[in-house]
């Protein structure tokens, strides 16, 4: 066990609360906004298959490692990594893994808040009925006009970042526990309603086929990398969010079962989102490659067409805001915990500081959708570049290193004690995956993409 160490930031009241909070972190825009759009850009079935494989073979073992490190170190990822490295007699340089996570957290939060802002705006746009009786083309056009207006984007981005900062400043427990308890199940139910609607749209089987029938000719090096990146992004892995949540977990909870549950729920939500969206894409003869705007171009059509659509539409986007909110909080928490630990700041100041920095970076992202759109690198605007560098590069890299630390740098005994899987086949399976399978797989995918690039 964690040698009786306690976190100065508090502890979850039960294992169940940890599951809710970690699921709240995992389930977010990544599942409902990002999964369908990257699936659409990478050709469907084969991409989904690689994604599912990555969740099972890489995601679950790395998540176990991350929770384990957090619970043993009981501090922000930077300090946890430093403490554990010292304890195991390893290099202090491991703390830079925590630093990379902090950086990735900032960068992800910056564009995440912009997209959450779109979601917030769509609550009102659907509520006002602006899509009623409008053609599919006009719905797409409305989205492009909206993201082409930096002032409006800035307003929504600011509101969302303020919302996230306020919750983190109040401590993870009081704000977050309440939010996830009701909102996550509600979102899940509403997704089922959406899938039910999609079922009646005539193109359901085409949507299912697109999602689950692999066409391996579509599987490029980029697609494989993006599938892996999406697995990390969706499970909140590789940057310390799950590590810090693990640091608030009681030492009696079983890490293995808990992790499998979280990963399964996260994956189910993503698949449901795909089932809700692609049948409508095909029913209206639209292209799956709608880019980051995909759900904002598709879902309003569905809501305009269904009975009670305004009600369901408002509710859906509202729940999506909450799902994004509980994820954004986990992006801020590692940074805020570190500022509190190392700089003696109080939570309110630390949250405000971190929030403002991420907000500033987010402004560059939202400008890159309009006035700065001509500045590109590798054919990507700033928004897509940050998204690519964090989700597809930094998170998998962070993940490899977490696995290497857990598998190669910690003593076998420490991990046996901390994981609580016993010393049988389950433990050995985990150790084999983090020691050999995940580092080799992630390195190969990254190298493969690099040689494609240059």
120 binds ligand PHE (CB under 6 A): no
Tell which one of 60, 64, 68, 108 touches ligand PHE (CB under 6 A). 108
In angstroms, what is the minimal distance from the CB of 384 to ligand PHE? Answer: 16
Place of tokens 């400043």: 169
Strand partners, 451: none
Distance, in Å, from the CA atom of 4 to the CA atom of 291, rounded to the nearest integer, reads 48
Q: Residue 77 Cβ, how far from ligand PHE at the closest point, in Å?
A: 11
Tokens of 72: 């043993």
Q: Does 230 bind ligand PHE (CB under 6 A)?
A: no
**Phi, psi (deg, nearest 5) at residue 302:** -65, -45
Does residue 247 interact with ligand PHE by CB under 6 A? no
**From CA 365, how far away is CA 382, in angstroms rounded?**
6
Q: How far is the CB of 294 from ligand PHE (least distance, A)?
A: 15
Of residues 122 and 131, the one with the C-beta less far from ligand PHE: 122
Residue 276 vs 304, nearer CB to ligand PHE: 276
Short-list 295, 287, 351, 314, CA closest to 126 = 314
Nearer to ligand PHE, 201 or 258 (CB): 258
Answer yes or no whether residue 51 interacts with ligand PHE by CB under 6 A. no
Among 233, 322, 325, 405, interactor with ligand PHE by CB under 6 A: 233
| CA-based torsion, 373, 376, 381, 382: positive or negative | negative
Which is closer to ligand PHE, CB of 28 or CB of 43? 28
User: Could you say whether residue 25 binds ligand PHE (CB under 6 A)?
Assistant: yes
97 touches ligand PHE by CB under 6 A: no
CB atoms within 10 A of CB 173: 16
CB of 109 to ligand PHE, least distance (A): 8
Is 36 among the residues that bind ligand PHE (CB under 6 A)?
no
Q: Angle 143-265-358 (CA atoms, 0-180°, nearest 5)?
A: 50
Cα-trace Rg, the chain: 21
Nearer to ligand PHE, 227 or 331 (CB): 331
Segment lying near ligand PHE (by CB under 6 A), choices 20-28, 44-52, 197-205, 426-434: 20-28
Nearer to ligand PHE, 31 or 42 (CB): 31
| Closest approach of ligand PHE to the CB of residue 394, in Å | 10
If binding is defined by CB under 6 A, does position 313 make contact with ligand PHE?
A: no
The least distance separating ligand PHE from the CB of residue 110, rounded to whole angstroms, comes to 12
Per CB under 6 A, which of residues 323..362 are in contact with ligand PHE?
327, 330-331
Distances (CA, A) of 166 to 39, 80, 103, 175, 356: 33, 25, 21, 9, 12
Pick out residues in 133-172 that bind ligand PHE (CB under 6 A).
none
Maximum separation of any 2 CA atoms in the chain, in Å: 67
According to CB under 6 A, which one of 26, 38, 354, 406 is a site residue for ligand PHE? 26
Residue nearest ligand PHE, Cβ-based: 30
Helices 172-199 and 309-343: angle between axes, nearest 10 degrees = 150
Q: 76: left (phi > 0), else alpha (psi -120 to 50), else beta?
A: beta
Cα 125–Cα 274–Cα 450 angle in degrees, nearest 5 = 105
Distance CA 179, CA 183 (A): 6
Q: If binding is defined by CB under 6 A, does position 80 make contact with ligand PHE? A: no
Output 160 or 233, the one with its CB closest to ligand PHE.
233
Length of the chain in residues, anyone?
454
Please say which residue, 97 or 306, places its beta carbon nearer to ligand PHE: 97
Residue 380 in 3-state DSSP? strand
Distances (CA, A) of 13 to 18, 184, 243, 347, 442: 8, 18, 17, 20, 35
CA distance 351 to 398: 23
Q: Answer yes or no whether residue 37 interacts with ligand PHE by CB under 6 A.
A: no
In the bound state with ligand PHE, the residue whose beta carbon lies nearer, of 286 and 318, is 318
Select from 119, 236, 365, 438 the one that contacts ligand PHE (CB under 6 A).
Answer: 236
Asked if 119 touches ligand PHE (CB under 6 A), the answer is no
Binding residue for ligand PHE, selected from 17, 19, 21, 29, defined by CB under 6 A: 29
Q: Provide, rounded to whole angstroms, the least separation between the CB of residue 288 and ligand PHE.
A: 20
Give the shortest CB-425-to-ligand PHE separation in angstroms: 30
The Cα–Cα gap between 1 and 237 comes to 23
Considering the complex, state which of residue 29 and residue 121 has its C-beta at the smaller distance from ligand PHE: 29
What does DSSP assign to residue 59? I
> Which of 153, 241, 286, 304 contacts ligand PHE by CB under 6 A?
241
CA atoms within 13 A on the CB side of 240: 31
Contact 334, 244 (CB under 8 A): yes
Alpha helices (H) in 129-214, listed in sequence order: 136-147, 150-169, 172-199, 204-212
Q: Which residues bind ligand PHE (CB under 6 A)?
A: 25-26, 28-31, 108, 233-234, 236, 239, 241, 327, 330-331
């Amino acid at each position: 066990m964690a040698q009786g160490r306690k976190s100065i930031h508090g502890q979850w009241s039960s294992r169940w609360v940890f599951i809710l909070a970690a699921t709240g972190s995992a389930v977010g825009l990544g599942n409902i906004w990002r999964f369908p759009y990257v699936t659409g850009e990478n050709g469907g079935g084969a991409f989904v298959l690689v994604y599912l494989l990555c969740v099972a073979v890489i995601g679950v073992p790395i998540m176990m490692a991350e929770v384990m490190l957090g619970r043993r170190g009981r501090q922000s990822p930077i300090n946890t990594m430093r403490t554990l490295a010292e304890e195991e007699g390893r290099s202090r340089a491991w703390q830079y893994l925590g630093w990379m996570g902090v950086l990735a957290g900032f960068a992800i939060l910056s564009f995440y808040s912009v997209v959450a802002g779109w979601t917030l705006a769509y609550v009102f746009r659907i509520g006002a009925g602006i899509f009623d009786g409008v053609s599919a083309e006009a719905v797409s056009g409305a989205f492009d006009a909206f993201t082409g207006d930096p002032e409006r984007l800035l307003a929504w981005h600011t509101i969302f970042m303020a919302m996230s900062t306020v919750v983190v400043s109040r401590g993870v427990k009081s704000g977050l526990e309440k939010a996830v308890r009701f909102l996550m199940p509600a979102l899940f139910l509403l997704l089922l309603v959406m899938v039910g609607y999609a079922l009646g749209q005539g193109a359901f089987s085409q949507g299912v086929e697109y999602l689950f029938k692999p066409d391996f000719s579509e599987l490029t090096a980029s697609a494989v990398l993006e599938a892996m990146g999406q697995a990390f992004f969706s499970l909140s892995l590789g940057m310390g969010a799950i590590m810090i949540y693990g640091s608030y977990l009681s030492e009696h909870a079983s890490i293995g079962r808990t992790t499998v549950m979280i990963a399964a729920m996260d994956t189910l939500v993503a698949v449901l989102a795909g089932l809700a969206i692609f049948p409508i894409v095909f029913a209206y003869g639209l292209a799956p490659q709608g880019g980051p705007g995909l759900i904002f171009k598709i879902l309003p059509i569905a809501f305009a067409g269904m009975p009670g659509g305004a009600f369901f539409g408002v509710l859906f986007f509202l729940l999506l805001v909450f799902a994004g909110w509980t994820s954004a909080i986990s992006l801020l928490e590692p940074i805020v915990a570190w500022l509190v630990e190392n700089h003696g700041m109080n939570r309110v100041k630390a949250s405000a500081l971190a929030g403002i920095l991420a907000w500033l970076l987010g402004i560059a992202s939202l400008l890159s959708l309009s006035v700065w759109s001509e500045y590109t690198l590798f054919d990507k605007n700033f928004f897509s570049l940050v998204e690519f560098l964090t989700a597809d590069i930094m998170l998998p890299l962070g993940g490899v290193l977490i696995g290497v630390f857990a598998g190669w740098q910690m003593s076998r005994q420490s991990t046996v004690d901390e994981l609580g899987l016993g010393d049988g086949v389950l433990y050995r399976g985990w150790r084999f995956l983090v020691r050999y399978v995940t580092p080799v797989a992630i390195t190969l995918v990254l190298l493969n993409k690099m040689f494609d690039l240059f």
